[in-house]
Amino acid sequence: MYPDIFQLASASAAVKAALGSNPVRFWPFGKAPQDESRPYALHQLIYGAPVNTLGCVPEADNFGVQVDVYAKSVTDARSATRALRDAFEPHGHIVAWNGEFWEPATGLYRISFTVEFWTDRT
């Protein structure tokens, strides 16, 4: 059910250039290894709904996935965000830019966005 966004990200040369390739530093939320190299990104499902109709079982689902990019510099955070955006947009739609943040506790910059995927159930 969950969109295979890791596959989309890891298939992109630009994402691998930004987030590494062994491994691609793009994890489900809460799964990033402690003291991981930067930049890295996390993803999590923040909403979803079946495409309901009156006459049949839903044939598709809509998923909203939040992506958060963490980096030591604004430039690296924006570059990784751009690479992820470009990897996802042929398959989904960016529906929100959730902001840019600096986190004093970690000294990292974070950029957050939401990408929506329509997934067929077939």
CATH code assigned at 41: 3.30.70.1700
> What pTM was estimated for this model as a whole?
0.93
Report the domain count for the chain: 1
| Tokens at 5, concatenated | 């966004």
Which pLDDT does position 53 carry in this prediction?
87
58-82 mean pLDDT: 96
Sign of the CA dihedral with 41 first, then 15, 37, and 110 last: negative
Task: Give the DSSP H/E element, type plus range, for residue 88.
Answer: helix 74-88
Full domain range(s) for residue 48? 5-120
Kindly give, in sequence order, each residue whose CB lies less than 8 Å from that of residue 72, ignoring residues fewer than 6 positions away: 38, 39, 107, 108, 109
pLDDT at site 36: 74
Question: Taking 90 as the threshold, does the pLDDT of residue 1 lie above it?
Answer: no
Model confidence at 77: pLDDT above 90: yes
